[in-house]
Amino acid sequence: MRRGPWLWAAALAVYAFLYLPLVIVIVYSFNDSRLNAEWVGFTWHWYEVLLHDEDMLLAAGNSLFIALVSSSIATVLGTMAGIAMQRYNLRLLSFMVLTPVAMPEVLLGVSLLLFFIQVLNLTLGMISIILAHITFSIGFVAVIVRARLAGMDDSIFEAARDLGATPWQTFRHVTFPLILPGVVAGWLMAFTLSIDDFVITFFTAGVGVSTLPLRIYSMIKIAVTPEVNAVSTILMLLTLTMILLATRFAPDVLKGKA
Protein backbone atom coordinates (compact mmCIF):
# COMPACT_ATOMS: atom_id res chain seq x y z
CA MET A 1 0.00 0.00 0.00
CA ARG A 2 1.11 3.55 -0.75
CA ARG A 3 1.92 5.34 2.49
CA GLY A 4 4.76 7.75 1.85
CA PRO A 5 6.70 9.58 4.58
CA TRP A 6 4.88 12.84 3.79
CA LEU A 7 1.52 11.21 4.40
CA TRP A 8 2.76 9.85 7.73
CA ALA A 9 4.15 13.23 8.77
CA ALA A 10 0.93 15.07 7.89
CA ALA A 11 -1.26 12.50 9.65
CA LEU A 12 0.90 12.50 12.80
CA ALA A 13 0.75 16.30 12.90
CA VAL A 14 -3.05 16.11 12.80
CA TYR A 15 -3.08 13.53 15.61
CA ALA A 16 -0.87 15.89 17.64
CA PHE A 17 -3.28 18.75 16.92
CA LEU A 18 -6.14 16.58 18.20
CA TYR A 19 -4.45 15.55 21.46
CA LEU A 20 -2.18 18.43 22.49
CA PRO A 21 -4.95 20.76 23.80
CA LEU A 22 -6.47 17.99 25.95
CA VAL A 23 -3.08 16.91 27.33
CA ILE A 24 -2.43 20.52 28.36
CA VAL A 25 -5.76 20.69 30.23
CA ILE A 26 -4.91 17.47 32.10
CA VAL A 27 -1.35 18.55 32.92
CA TYR A 28 -2.46 21.95 34.26
CA SER A 29 -5.06 20.30 36.49
CA PHE A 30 -2.09 19.10 38.60
CA ASN A 31 -0.20 22.39 38.44
CA ASP A 32 0.44 24.18 41.72
CA SER A 33 -0.38 27.63 40.35
CA ARG A 34 -3.46 29.76 39.92
CA LEU A 35 -2.42 30.61 36.37
CA ASN A 36 -2.52 28.29 33.39
CA ALA A 37 0.91 29.50 32.39
CA GLU A 38 4.10 27.83 33.55
CA TRP A 39 4.58 24.55 35.40
CA VAL A 40 5.24 25.20 39.09
CA GLY A 41 4.89 21.81 40.75
CA PHE A 42 2.59 18.85 41.27
CA THR A 43 -0.51 19.22 43.44
CA TRP A 44 -3.88 17.60 44.13
CA HIS A 45 -5.12 20.98 45.34
CA TRP A 46 -7.57 21.69 42.47
CA TYR A 47 -9.24 18.33 42.95
CA GLU A 48 -9.71 19.16 46.65
CA VAL A 49 -11.21 22.52 45.71
CA LEU A 50 -13.54 20.66 43.38
CA LEU A 51 -14.62 18.24 46.11
CA HIS A 52 -15.67 21.18 48.31
CA ASP A 53 -17.39 23.17 45.56
CA GLU A 54 -21.03 22.59 46.45
CA ASP A 55 -22.45 24.35 43.37
CA MET A 56 -20.34 22.16 41.15
CA LEU A 57 -21.33 18.96 42.97
CA LEU A 58 -25.01 19.92 42.79
CA ALA A 59 -24.67 20.62 39.07
CA ALA A 60 -22.92 17.27 38.61
CA GLY A 61 -25.76 15.52 40.45
CA ASN A 62 -28.32 17.27 38.21
CA SER A 63 -26.38 16.28 35.11
CA LEU A 64 -26.22 12.64 36.17
CA PHE A 65 -29.94 12.53 36.96
CA ILE A 66 -30.89 14.24 33.69
CA ALA A 67 -28.58 11.96 31.70
CA LEU A 68 -29.92 8.78 33.33
CA VAL A 69 -33.58 9.65 32.82
CA SER A 70 -33.32 11.20 29.35
CA SER A 71 -31.01 8.52 27.92
CA SER A 72 -33.24 5.72 29.22
CA ILE A 73 -36.41 7.19 27.70
CA ALA A 74 -34.57 8.12 24.49
CA THR A 75 -33.27 4.55 24.25
CA VAL A 76 -36.78 3.08 24.39
CA LEU A 77 -38.16 5.58 21.83
CA GLY A 78 -35.02 5.49 19.67
CA THR A 79 -35.00 1.67 19.55
CA MET A 80 -38.64 1.69 18.44
CA ALA A 81 -37.86 4.32 15.81
CA GLY A 82 -34.82 2.38 14.58
CA ILE A 83 -36.83 -0.83 14.20
CA ALA A 84 -39.72 1.01 12.51
CA MET A 85 -37.38 2.82 10.08
CA GLN A 86 -35.59 -0.38 9.11
CA ARG A 87 -38.65 -2.60 8.83
CA TYR A 88 -41.41 -0.41 7.41
CA ASN A 89 -39.47 2.18 5.38
CA LEU A 90 -41.35 5.11 6.94
CA ARG A 91 -40.09 8.27 5.24
CA LEU A 92 -41.83 10.82 7.45
CA LEU A 93 -40.63 9.13 10.65
CA SER A 94 -37.06 8.94 9.30
CA PHE A 95 -37.19 12.65 8.49
CA MET A 96 -38.47 13.51 11.98
CA VAL A 97 -35.87 11.31 13.67
CA LEU A 98 -32.83 12.44 11.67
CA THR A 99 -33.44 16.19 11.24
CA PRO A 100 -32.88 17.14 14.92
CA VAL A 101 -29.50 15.38 14.67
CA ALA A 102 -28.50 17.21 11.51
CA MET A 103 -29.60 20.77 12.13
CA PRO A 104 -27.64 23.41 14.10
CA GLU A 105 -28.30 22.87 17.80
CA VAL A 106 -29.18 26.49 18.43
CA LEU A 107 -32.32 26.08 16.28
CA LEU A 108 -33.64 23.17 18.33
CA GLY A 109 -32.75 25.07 21.53
CA VAL A 110 -34.66 28.25 20.73
CA SER A 111 -37.67 26.49 19.20
CA LEU A 112 -38.03 24.35 22.33
CA LEU A 113 -37.64 27.46 24.51
CA LEU A 114 -40.48 29.12 22.59
CA PHE A 115 -42.62 26.02 22.77
CA PHE A 116 -42.11 25.38 26.50
CA ILE A 117 -42.89 28.98 27.45
CA GLN A 118 -45.54 30.02 24.91
CA VAL A 119 -47.46 26.81 24.41
CA LEU A 120 -46.92 24.50 27.39
CA ASN A 121 -46.55 27.36 29.85
CA LEU A 122 -43.92 25.26 31.57
CA THR A 123 -41.51 26.68 34.14
CA LEU A 124 -38.07 25.94 32.72
CA GLY A 125 -36.09 23.48 34.80
CA MET A 126 -35.38 19.80 35.19
CA ILE A 127 -38.40 18.65 33.14
CA SER A 128 -37.78 20.96 30.18
CA ILE A 129 -34.10 19.93 30.08
CA ILE A 130 -35.00 16.23 30.14
CA LEU A 131 -37.60 16.61 27.36
CA ALA A 132 -35.11 18.54 25.23
CA HIS A 133 -32.39 15.94 25.75
CA ILE A 134 -34.72 13.10 24.78
CA THR A 135 -35.61 14.97 21.58
CA PHE A 136 -32.05 15.22 20.31
CA SER A 137 -30.95 11.76 21.57
CA ILE A 138 -33.66 9.68 19.85
CA GLY A 139 -32.00 10.09 16.45
CA PHE A 140 -28.60 8.85 17.62
CA VAL A 141 -30.08 5.73 19.26
CA ALA A 142 -32.27 5.05 16.19
CA VAL A 143 -29.31 5.27 13.80
CA ILE A 144 -27.25 2.83 15.88
CA VAL A 145 -30.11 0.33 16.29
CA ARG A 146 -31.01 0.54 12.61
CA ALA A 147 -27.37 -0.07 11.61
CA ARG A 148 -27.41 -3.17 13.81
CA LEU A 149 -30.65 -4.45 12.21
CA ALA A 150 -29.48 -3.66 8.67
CA GLY A 151 -26.56 -6.04 9.08
CA MET A 152 -28.90 -8.95 9.79
CA ASP A 153 -30.42 -11.61 7.62
CA ASP A 154 -34.20 -11.08 7.41
CA SER A 155 -34.74 -14.82 7.08
CA ILE A 156 -34.21 -15.25 10.85
CA PHE A 157 -37.38 -13.29 11.51
CA GLU A 158 -39.26 -15.15 8.79
CA ALA A 159 -38.12 -18.45 10.29
CA ALA A 160 -39.47 -17.43 13.71
CA ARG A 161 -42.77 -16.48 12.09
CA ASP A 162 -42.99 -19.71 10.14
CA LEU A 163 -42.38 -21.65 13.35
CA GLY A 164 -45.52 -20.04 14.75
CA ALA A 165 -44.08 -17.25 16.88
CA THR A 166 -46.37 -14.26 17.46
CA PRO A 167 -44.88 -10.83 16.58
CA TRP A 168 -44.28 -10.24 20.30
CA GLN A 169 -42.56 -13.61 20.74
CA THR A 170 -40.43 -12.92 17.67
CA PHE A 171 -39.41 -9.59 19.15
CA ARG A 172 -38.83 -10.92 22.67
CA HIS A 173 -36.83 -14.03 21.73
CA VAL A 174 -35.23 -13.20 18.37
CA THR A 175 -35.07 -9.49 17.50
CA PHE A 176 -34.35 -8.04 20.93
CA PRO A 177 -31.44 -10.33 21.91
CA LEU A 178 -29.89 -9.67 18.49
CA ILE A 179 -30.14 -5.87 18.67
CA LEU A 180 -29.28 -5.67 22.40
CA PRO A 181 -25.62 -4.66 21.83
CA GLY A 182 -26.87 -1.82 19.61
CA VAL A 183 -29.42 -0.78 22.21
CA VAL A 184 -26.76 -0.68 24.93
CA ALA A 185 -24.40 1.28 22.67
CA GLY A 186 -27.24 3.69 21.88
CA TRP A 187 -27.97 4.17 25.56
CA LEU A 188 -24.30 4.89 26.30
CA MET A 189 -24.21 7.35 23.40
CA ALA A 190 -27.38 9.13 24.58
CA PHE A 191 -26.01 9.27 28.14
CA THR A 192 -22.72 10.82 26.95
CA LEU A 193 -24.53 13.33 24.72
CA SER A 194 -26.82 14.36 27.55
CA ILE A 195 -24.07 14.79 30.13
CA ASP A 196 -22.04 16.86 27.64
CA ASP A 197 -24.79 18.95 26.13
CA PHE A 198 -24.33 22.67 26.50
CA VAL A 199 -26.18 24.51 23.72
CA ILE A 200 -29.67 23.01 24.03
CA THR A 201 -29.47 22.92 27.83
CA PHE A 202 -28.42 26.58 27.79
CA PHE A 203 -31.77 27.55 26.22
CA THR A 204 -34.02 25.15 28.11
CA ALA A 205 -32.59 25.29 31.65
CA GLY A 206 -34.08 28.56 32.89
CA VAL A 207 -32.55 30.13 35.99
CA GLY A 208 -33.16 27.58 38.73
CA VAL A 209 -31.33 24.47 37.60
CA SER A 210 -27.68 24.19 36.65
CA THR A 211 -25.87 21.32 34.95
CA LEU A 212 -22.16 20.53 34.77
CA PRO A 213 -21.63 22.11 31.31
CA LEU A 214 -23.62 25.22 32.35
CA ARG A 215 -21.50 25.51 35.50
CA ILE A 216 -18.26 25.07 33.51
CA TYR A 217 -19.49 27.69 31.02
CA SER A 218 -20.07 30.29 33.70
CA MET A 219 -16.66 29.56 35.26
CA ILE A 220 -14.97 29.98 31.87
CA LYS A 221 -16.86 33.20 31.18
CA ILE A 222 -16.34 34.79 34.59
CA ALA A 223 -13.11 33.57 36.17
CA VAL A 224 -10.95 30.75 34.94
CA THR A 225 -9.30 28.78 37.74
CA PRO A 226 -7.49 25.45 37.38
CA GLU A 227 -10.54 23.92 39.06
CA VAL A 228 -12.00 23.89 35.53
CA ASN A 229 -9.01 21.76 34.48
CA ALA A 230 -9.70 19.31 37.31
CA VAL A 231 -13.39 18.91 36.52
CA SER A 232 -12.52 18.62 32.81
CA THR A 233 -10.04 15.83 33.51
CA ILE A 234 -12.60 13.87 35.52
CA LEU A 235 -15.24 14.36 32.81
CA MET A 236 -12.77 13.20 30.15
CA LEU A 237 -12.11 10.02 32.11
CA LEU A 238 -15.84 9.42 32.43
CA THR A 239 -16.67 9.92 28.75
CA LEU A 240 -13.61 7.91 27.73
CA THR A 241 -14.95 4.99 29.75
CA MET A 242 -18.40 5.36 28.21
CA ILE A 243 -17.05 5.46 24.64
CA LEU A 244 -14.77 2.47 25.18
CA LEU A 245 -17.73 0.54 26.61
CA ALA A 246 -19.88 1.56 23.64
CA THR A 247 -17.28 0.38 21.13
CA ARG A 248 -17.01 -2.93 23.00
CA PHE A 249 -20.75 -3.52 22.76
CA ALA A 250 -21.09 -2.44 19.14
CA PRO A 251 -17.84 -2.09 17.20
CA ASP A 252 -19.79 -0.76 14.21
CA VAL A 253 -20.96 2.30 16.18
CA LEU A 254 -18.09 4.36 14.78
CA LYS A 255 -19.00 3.56 11.22
CA GLY A 256 -22.70 4.00 11.88
CA LYS A 257 -22.06 7.58 12.93
CA ALA A 258 -20.17 8.50 9.80
Partner 1 sequence: MNEQEKIRLTPAARLGKWLVSGPPFLFLLLFFVAPSIIMVLASFRYPGEFGALAPIASADSDTLHGLTLETYEFFFSDIIYSYVFFKSFLVALATTLICLTLAYPLALLIARSPKKSRDLMVLLVVLPFASSFLIRVYAWMILLGPQAALSQVINGMLGVFGIAQVYLLFSPFAVLVAMVYVHLPFMVLPLYTNLEKHDPSLLDAAQDLGANAWQRFWQVTFPLSLPGIFSGSALVFIPVLGMFAIPDILGGTGDMLIGNLIKEQFLATRDWPFGSTLSIMLTIVVLLLVWLAVRLGRTRGRYA
Q: Which of residues 140-199 bind partner 1 (CB under 8 A)?
A: 142, 166-168, 171, 192, 195-196, 198-199
Chain positions 209 to 238 lying near partner 1, rule: CB under 8 A, are 213, 216-217, 220-221, 224, 228, 232, 235-236
Say whether 52 sits in a helix, a strand or coil. Answer: coil
CB of 225 to partner 1, least distance (A): 12
What gap in Å lies between CA 145 and CA 148, rounded to an integer? 5
CB of 192 to partner 1, least distance (A): 7
Closest CA to 145 of 62, 73, 85: 85
The verdict on 8 binding partner 1 (CB under 8 A) reads yes
CB of 199 to partner 1, least distance (A): 6
Interacting residues of 202 by C-beta distance below 8 A, sequence separation 6+: 109, 214, 217
DSSP string for residues in 53-93: -HHHHHHHHHHHHHHHHHHHHHHHHHHHHHHHHHHH--HHH
**Residues contacting partner 1: total by CB under 8 A:** 94
CB of 114 to partner 1, least distance (A): 5
Say whether 199 sits in a helix, a strand or coil. Answer: helix
Which of 96, 156, 159, 245 is the binder for partner 1 (CB under 8 A)? 96
Closest CA to 129 of 54, 202, 182, 21: 202
CB of 216 to partner 1, least distance (A): 5
CA angle 70, 80, 76 (to 5 degrees): 25
Chain positions 109 to 138 lying near partner 1, rule: CB under 8 A, are 110-115, 117-119, 131-132, 134-135, 138
Which of 37, 42, 121, 223 is the binder for partner 1 (CB under 8 A)? 37
Q: Considering only 28-36, 64-72, 145-153, 179-187, which stretch makes contact with partner 1 by CB under 8 A? A: 28-36
Yes or no: say if 226 and 124 are a contact pair by the CB < 8 Å rule. no
